[in-house]
Structure formats: C-alpha cells, structure tokens
Structure 1
C-alpha cells in the first residue's frame, strides 16, 4: 500500500503539504512522477511546476532526491520505507488542477499526488487533514472516493484500488452545501461550494430527469453512487468528467432561484454542462479509445476520434434536455442554432477536418490564439453537428428502425461494458454494422473532409426549416423565428470580434476575408476613431453599421503604442447565422419523425 497525507498547510499562501510513504521502495532507488496532463483536457499542463519543495527520508534519516526531468524525481537507495514530503502551490481556480485559499480547497490528484514508478497497481490510502483555525471549523470534505474511516465532516482516510483511480476522484473542501437525489436506485449527490441562493429542490429535480435519460439510453448505470462537485463563482464556466463524479465551475447567476418560472439561458447552460459531463460516464470514461488504455498521462496520446467522444457527447447533452422535458422544442432549437452558427462563423472549418482537429488537440485546440477561428474547427461543435447528421441520416435510411441511440448502446455493449478500447475507426465500424448501411461516404464527408454538412436538407425531412442569414447584431448567435423571412438586409460589419463588454474597441480576432483584414487591421489593435469621430467598444458596431456599403471610412487605431491610420471598406455581414423555423402544421410523416427523434423516451434494443 502507498500512503498519502494531504494537509492544507497555508491557505493564506495557497500551499498544500503532501506526505507520501512507500513501504517497499525499489532497492536501486525509487522514482516518483507527476502526470503532465489530466484526461479530458488534452493539453500538457506541467503540474509539476507547482511543486515548491521536496525532501525524502528513510528510517536512517534524510536521503538524496535527484530531479530527473520536469516531472520526475528519484530517491537514493533506502534502507527501508521512504517518506517523501513536498509542498505544492495551489492557485488555479478551474476544474483541472488545485486551488486553496481561506474560502475553500480543491484538488485533482493529478496536480497534487505523485505517482510511484513500477507501483501503479498498488492500492492507495489517502488521508485528508483539516487546517487548524476557527474559520475552518465548518469545512467539510466532498469526494466520490471510497471512505475508510472519516469523521462527520469527511476528514480522514480514503481508499483507491490503484494510482489511476486515486487521480480520478477530485476533492472539494469547504463550506459545502449538499443535496441528494436517486436515479435507478443509485444515490446521487450535488455538493456546492461558494456563496449561492440556489433552489436545490429544482436543481435536483431537473438533474434527476436528465440523468435518467442518459441511463435509459445506455440501459444501465455503471456506478454505485455519483457526485456533482459544483464551484460557484462570479463569472466562470467549465466541467471535467471523472469515473463516478464531475467537477463543475459555474457563474452564480446561472443557478436556479426559488419561484423561478421560466428557464433562463444561464440555467439552461448549466443543465447542459451537467448533462455533458454525466454522459461521459459512458462515453470516454468507459467507452474509451484503445490508445488511452495503452499509454499513460506523462506524455501526449494521439487519436483521431476525439470528435466521437466529445462531439457526440455535445450532441446528446442538449438532446437530453428536451427529451427529459426540462426545455421545450423552441429552446432546443435555439441551442442547436447557436451550435451551427459557431461552426459556420469559423473559416477554419475549410482548413481542418474533424479527424485532424482531434489529432491536433494538443497543439491547436487547447492552445488557441487570435487566429484560431481562421485555422481550426472545434471537434466539440462540428462533432455535435456531425452526430446530428449521422442520427438523422440513419433514421431516414432505416425508416426509423435504427438511430444513433442504437449505435451508442452497441458501443456500450461492445466497448464500455467489456473494457475493450475503441480502435481507430471503431465507431464508424459499429455505426455501419448497427445501421446496416454503407456509411463510408457520409464519414468521408463529415470526418475526413472540410465540406459543409447537409444539416438543412436532413432537418427539412423532420419538419424543421433552416436558413443561414446575416446576423442582425453582434449578439445574434442564432435564433428561432415564427416565420422564415424571404431575405434579410446585411448590415455593414468590420469582420472582427471585439472584447466583450470592454470600454475600448479592442480587436480580439480578425476574420479571414473580412473588412478589417483587408484594411490591414490586426488582432490587438484598439480602434479609437471612425471617420475622425471617437468610438468606444459599445459604439464601434453602430458606427460601422451606419456606414454606406462600398464606401471607405478612415479608421484610427493604436497598435501597441503607435497610432495608425487605415482605410476600411465595411462589408455586408456574411450569411453565417443559423435561423430555424418550426412550422406548427407539419405533414404527419414529418411530425412522426420529429416526435421519435426529440420526444420519445422509450429505448429498444
């Protein structure tokens, strides 16, 4: 057994102290390491950079610790058990790493707990100790790790079968508010940290319905309990899946309040995030790329299938909201319109395929810069749209007898329930076998080419009209209308994205082929005047939209500390905004298809 002890050494200085004890170290010298990344976040994080001090001893006293590389250390041969003591700086308020201050403590094991080489399968015992001080008396521990011996606040000993499992149970410590609900006789808990006025009854009720949808899809729930860890902040958003829990970060305003009648967009977004991470219980945590089982977390692991695990999950996270009755049909298509619009507004979709986006996640998707919209496509958003296309295509071609639901259930039977990793191209193989269709052309188009997907043509056969129209304003990210307009006038636009809610008109991104790029403006430029009149961030959009198409205007901007002058000719807003129309009187055939797709709660083998 490998024993870990975590102490909140100094919340004021954001320092954890970790003690690691190895009973049977390597006789030639024991090596320790910290993962370079965490599953679900495909970017080298270099967690080891936050280790401040490290020292080792055995029963005879101090022993030498040698650093081998950026994430590995080796102790000199010891005469018996080795005790390693090290401090870790924790000031990353996200779902990925560790954060400690006087308000709470949070950590993922990958950022705090060193692994022991050649002992990855040894059982682990984790002891969590409380800080001393009256302000910490109300703090509790929330984690999905198996308890061994803990006090009423959760401090004490926890058990993991091996190091990989140890890393897969995030820990929240603080003034935690908890609420419980049950899905398929399995207890679920939501633990909220941070100041909030959440209607816990409403949140639990909605989550119960959403989780039940996912369980119904796969046919079984592969955990004995489940934990939603929710950190509430003023402005934040994020989630990370784990084997029977998830870490979530949300804005305070996105929580449901008592007496709330309508579904605010912020709360809808939070439910979608919870739905997404819960779906990962099956799709990535257990239905997993084979290469993830073969490689560890000390270096990059490449696969062309991330769109399968993140894109399909992104499709189902919102689909579950309408199937569960948490949102109505209009709300669902508002969400879908926003997803389609995000894809259509990035010219990077013409330069990178879904498979390439998956493979390059390490160097491109998780290292986005100001040119990202022009260079890459998201395997989340385009992956979700391709999942929609696959689903509707199979439904049409099989007269509703098969769907993506059936494919995912077979993926679970073949790969998730058995633990057999998904080989490259494995999802396409299963989809082909389950549907009985030749899907090679569809996958060539959707996953291996940069061609746009036939979304509008497919949706038409399900009673949904879709058009791409110019945005009405910078806040128009896709919409649902009662009647599809014959046409909409395109307003003059600058062809760039500005800092949201900023006083100054700073260009964050300049789009390929747009007016700003043609004029020579660049990301980072701060526009101060249009036609010799001062503009701010709020006024720039109107100043450009009031311009006459085909006529140039003089733009003054700062690039670094130099004021520069540009001649800019505003261009009409491109037709890249998704607009849906949902007719009330549908042909019976279309009505049935739409109902089976969006409303049906029954799953058949």
Structure 2
C-alpha cells in the first residue's frame, strides 16, 4: 500500500475568503498522477461542482523527503486540467507537492465559508483525491497564517482523530485511515463557544460559532435524553466514542448535514434560548432540537446503514437510489417522535408537529404525480433544484417518508398484535446492514418484515411508496388513542395542527409576499381559483373589486364577496391587467389530531 498522503491546510486570507492546501504525495509507481475533487458531498444529493472554487493549482517535484511545499530543491512539473474537476500531474513516479488555493464563501453546511470570526471547511471542498492512494492513510495539518494578528485567538475543531498534540497555538495535527474518512470530518477554525456533556460514556460537544449569550447548559440538558434514546434504540456496542454538534450561527439560514462522528448545522442565533430566558420552549427551539435529533440519528441510519450504491459512491457524478424515503423519511419520523418519547415536548405538541407535516402534503398536488420512490431517485434534480412549480409536481421523500414511517409502525403493531414495531425493524437494519456497512437492497423493508416478522407489508408499500396513495392515517392512528381530522386554514400563515381561530371561507390558491406596493405571487396551486383565473408567478396583485389590497384585506374581501366572481387587478411585466376571479370555497387541507385515549398514546410513545 502506498505511503501516507500529507495535507496542510492554511487559513491564509479570510478577507478574500481564501485558504490554501499543500498536498505532499510520496513516491509512487506511475509516471503521472490523476487528482480529482468531488462534485457532491454525501448526504446532499446535488452536483455542486466544488472544483469551481479552486483558484490556482500547481505542482513541484521534491528531491528531498521533507514534506514541505517550499523545499528549495523542488522543480515545477506540468499540470494538465482534464475536465471540470480533474487534473493530471506528470511526476515520473517521484514525490511531489501540489499547491492550490480555494475560494470559500458559501455560508451553508455543504461547502466552505470564511469570515472575520471563523473558517468552516468540508473535506469535499478542500482535499483532492489522488488516484492509486484512495486507501492510503491521510495526515492533516491545519495552520493559521502567522502574519495575521486577527486570527490569533482562533482554534481548530473537528471530530477527526488527533495525530499528535499541537506544540503551537496556531497548528493542529490530525490523521485518518483513508480518503473517504478524511473528507467525512467538517473542520471549524475560529472563535467559538463550546459545551460538553456525557451520555452513556460518550462525550458530546456543542460548538457554536462566535461568542454568544446562548444557554448552552439548557441545550445540553434537553439533548441528553434525545441522544440517550438513539443510543438505546441501536444498542451496544456503539460506533462512536465522541460526537460533535457543530453549529454555524447566522441571522437567517437553516440546515444540517450528517457525518459519522459529527454534524454540521446552520441555524438563526436568536432562535436559540438565551441565558436568563427561562424554560419555555419556543417552536424555533423545538425545531433546533429536532434538527439535532435528526442528524444524530443519521450516525446509524445513513452513515452506516445505507443503500448499496452509497457504500462506495462515485463522488464525481450522480449516484441514483430510490431508497431515500427509507433514510430521510424514517429519520424524519424519529427526529420528532424522540422528543415526545424523551419527555422534551408534550404528546399534543408532537401531534401538532405531525399535523403540520401532513398539512404540507395535503396542499401538495405533486403527491399524486410522483411517488416517494420516484422522489428519491429524482432527488438530484427535482428535489434539490426546486422551482415555484414544485408543489404541483413533486413530493418530498422527507415529508411523505416520515408519514410512511409512522404508518408502517402502526401497521406492524396492528398485524402483530403489538408484538412488532418500527423500532424492531430499525434494529434489524442495524444488525444486518449497518454494523458491517454492507448496503441495503431496494426491497429491504419488505424482505426484513417478511423473513423476520412473518408480516407482509408489500401491499402497503405498493400503495404509498411505489404508488401515489396517501397513508390512511384516520384508520391507523386510532390504535394510538388519537383521532385524525382536517379543517380549512385560519390564515395565510397557518401551518396546521389544532387551532381555535376562525377559519377562512374562501381561498385564492396562491402564496403571496408583500411587495413595495401590492402582493407578489410566489406560488400558484393547481385546481384553485388563482390558476383558473390565469394568475401567474411574479404577478403583483394590487386590487380586488377596485379596492387596494394588503394580505389581510385581500382575505377579508375574498371571505365577504358581493358576487360569485370578482375582478382582481394585477401588474404583469409592466402591464396592468384585470382578470375575473371565481370565488372558491377553502379546501380542508390543514390536518390536526385530537387525543382520545391518553393511556394508549403514552403507551405508544413508550412513556
């Protein structure tokens, strides 16, 4: 096996959003080397072409064995770019160092970003893959530019194993066993707040960018039973000893991306509990806890239990699977139900969250056109590259997958006289496919249920996974002591769940946002009044029946019309138009659940 690769990552110029990498490659048998940078990052199924951020790349031969790009005895060698993400370096088999600069200005959890407080870097954006060295050990040094006093207080954080203790406050040393493991550890270098807590002998570290007034002990207390639930579900021995929740704080933004020993999160800073605010859990804070629950669940379910094609995916191009409804869908079920099981939220609050998910589906005409399996397969384009028509044409494998998982749990209980649950299925997935990371076939759910439980669920999956039927929640949730109902929305901001506010009477069938004058149309829903009237995306609605409108006034006029058809006035591409709008009764597309038997519900939750 070839000797280790050695990467040196230097935070060189945050003002220009740039870092540099020096990659030392030892002696090798081939006369040339092929270098590639991934085009996508595992867990986020869209080609992002990370190589577009490489500004310059060069290579030198070294006549010494010193792993240093500034070796005085080095000579430049030819580098040929073969395609958008691939380079060939002519080395004649000799040791060489490849130097390149990367632009980092994508504030997300999928790429790389730098500002005056920190640098955040994913390995897929930073580390070139060397052909023939894929299974070689990888060393990594991270260093700060000695000449920049603004980074004097910065520190490096990552879940990557430490190779040796740092002898400098500006240098850190890590190592991984191969390239795939190297790129699975996001890196944070900068100013941060950290707080650690232990669960079952595993150390969890919370990291938040910058210095903040956030109540970290409270977050740790709330996350402790959530982490405990996931650890208990999959059982010993655990695949981790340490885990890092790495959160980038911003004014706006939301996201999470799983890794084997950490997760990278993006979240609004003031949606988190501040010191001295008390114990009330806002909806935004509950969403953060659910996001943490979701990404930590992926430690088993996605990072180790995974589709066959994702065991060794080709990161240079799309890798297709129709199983994402199993992976993101099941995880979407567990992220919220765990909060209720752990007592972090009340059962009714959990039911309201489920109702909001169901409500999103009920508004989505695309669920009749695309199955959850098809949504999984088409994630690369239709899900990750949504436009304003998405709600009419596609379905989310996250949202529907979560409802499918809830229905499957209830179905397994019903057909086994409460002897089998979705938890049992998850444990089988871990035992047979996760421990050895051997990859699941497309029919894994049907196969495990049949062979281990003697339960045939193919009829259910044919309807709701491979077909476009809705999950029959009304018939299933009664077994957990709950009634399922639908209602009309109470306002444009209505997300679903139980509400005592008065419902709207009539429905426009479009999503609007305030403009400098009037209301801009950002979505038009199939089968409702707006589309029938010919209202289009980006139209600006200014009046109804001659009355200038705001969002509130528009709804009031719709609910109290004088005739069955009204005139709606709008601006389209600089033209003033008036269209006839048929008054249409509001649909019952908001779901809510009522608890009918608390004892049954608590038993279902395992409380």
TM-score bin (small chain): over 0.9
Of the three residues 196, 204, 210, the one matched with 2:220 is: 204
Question: In the TM superposition, what are the counterparts of 1:66-215 in structure 2 within 5 Å?
Answer: 66-78=80-92, 80-131=94-145, 132-149=147-164, 150-151=166-167, 155-215=171-231
Matched, 1:239 2:256: yes
How far apart are 1:542 and its partner, in Å? Answer: 3.7
Could you tell which deviates more after superposition, 153-162 or 52-61?
153-162
Change in 2 beyond 3 A, CA 1:564/1:365: same
Matched, 1:523 2:537: yes
For 1:537 and 1:104, locate their aligned partners in 2 and report how far apart those are by CA, in whole Å.
40
Matched, 1:581 2:594: yes
Change in 2 beyond 3 A, CA 1:563/1:114: farther
Q: Does structure 2 conserve the Cα–Cα contact (< 8 Å) formed by 1:233 and 1:251? A: yes
How far apart are 1:31 and its partner, in Å? Answer: 0.7
For 1:500 and 1:459, locate their aligned partners in 2 and report how far apart those are by CA, in whole Å.
39
Q: Does structure 1 conserve the Cα–Cα contact (< 8 Å) formed by 2:254 and 2:268? A: yes
How far apart are 1:26 and its partner, in Å? Answer: 5.2
Question: In the TM superposition, what are the counterparts of 1:366-381 in structure 2 within 5 Å?
Answer: 366-381=384-399
Question: In the TM superposition, what are the counterparts of 1:136-535 in structure 2 within 5 Å?
Answer: 136-149=151-164, 150-151=166-167, 155-220=171-236, 221-257=238-274, 258-480=276-498, 490-499=504-513, 504-535=518-549
Q: Does structure 2 conserve the Cα–Cα contact (< 8 Å) formed by 1:95 and 1:248? A: yes
For 1:432 and 1:313, locate their aligned partners in 2 and report how far apart those are by CA, in whole Å.
22
Which residue is equivalent to 1:597? 604
Change in 2 beyond 3 A, CA 1:567/1:21: same
Change in 2 beyond 3 A, CA 1:500/1:459: farther
Change in 2 beyond 3 A, CA 1:146/1:503: farther
For 1:179 and 1:145, locate their aligned partners in 2 and report how far apart those are by CA, in whole Å.
18
For 1:576 and 1:532, locate their aligned partners in 2 and report how far apart those are by CA, in whole Å.
30
3-state DSSP of counterpart to 1:187? strand
Q: Does structure 2 conserve the Cα–Cα contact (< 8 Å) formed by 1:554 and 1:565? A: yes
Change in 2 beyond 3 A, CA 1:476/1:157: same
How far apart are 1:237 and its partner, in Å? Answer: 1.0
Change in 2 beyond 3 A, CA 1:562/1:57: farther
Q: Does structure 1 conserve the Cα–Cα contact (< 8 Å) formed by 2:197 and 2:205? A: yes
How far apart are 1:595 and its partner, in Å? Answer: 2.4
Q: Does structure 2 conserve the Cα–Cα contact (< 8 Å) formed by 1:56 and 1:63? A: yes
Which residue is equivalent to 1:40? 43
Change in 2 beyond 3 A, CA 1:452/1:147: same
For 2:105 and 2:555, locate their aligned partners in 1 and report how far apart those are by CA, in whole Å.
37
3-state DSSP of counterpart to 2:380? coil
For 2:169 and 2:358, locate their aligned partners in 1 and report how far apart those are by CA, in whole Å.
46
How far apart are 1:102 and its partner, in Å? Answer: 1.4
How far apart are 1:481 and its partner, in Å? Answer: 5.6
Change in 2 beyond 3 A, CA 1:542/1:23: farther
Question: In the TM superposition, what are the counterparts of 1:542-557 in structure 2 within 5 Å?
Answer: 542-547=556-561, 551-557=564-570
Q: Does structure 2 conserve the Cα–Cα contact (< 8 Å) formed by 1:4 and 1:19? A: yes
For 2:316 and 2:82, locate their aligned partners in 1 and report how far apart those are by CA, in whole Å.
14
For 1:93 and 1:562, locate their aligned partners in 2 and report how far apart those are by CA, in whole Å.
38
For 1:278 and 1:89, locate their aligned partners in 2 and report how far apart those are by CA, in whole Å.
30
Could you tell which deviates more after superposition, 270-279 or 528-537?
528-537
Matched, 1:6 2:9: yes
For 1:42 and 1:327, locate their aligned partners in 2 and report how far apart those are by CA, in whole Å.
31
Task: Give CA-to-partner distance per residue, 1:63-98, whole Å, 9 cap, x none.
Answer: 111111111011123462111111111110000000
How far apart are 1:263 and its partner, in Å? Answer: 1.2
How far apart are 1:373 and its partner, in Å? Answer: 0.3
How far apart are 1:189 and its partner, in Å? Answer: 0.6
Structure 2 unmatched ranges of 5 or more: 63-73
Task: Count residues with an aligned counterpart.
Answer: 589
Q: Does structure 1 conserve the Cα–Cα contact (< 8 Å) formed by 2:161 and 2:175? A: yes
Could you tell which deviates more after superposition, 224-233 or 189-198?
189-198
3-state DSSP of counterpart to 2:44? coil
How far apart are 1:154 and its partner, in Å? Answer: 7.4
For 1:428 and 1:75, locate their aligned partners in 2 and report how far apart those are by CA, in whole Å.
49
Which residue is equivalent to 1:51? 54
3-state DSSP of counterpart to 1:169? coil
How far apart are 1:151 and its partner, in Å? Answer: 4.9
3-state DSSP of counterpart to 2:133? coil
Of the three residues 556, 570, 576, the one matched with 2:583 is: 570
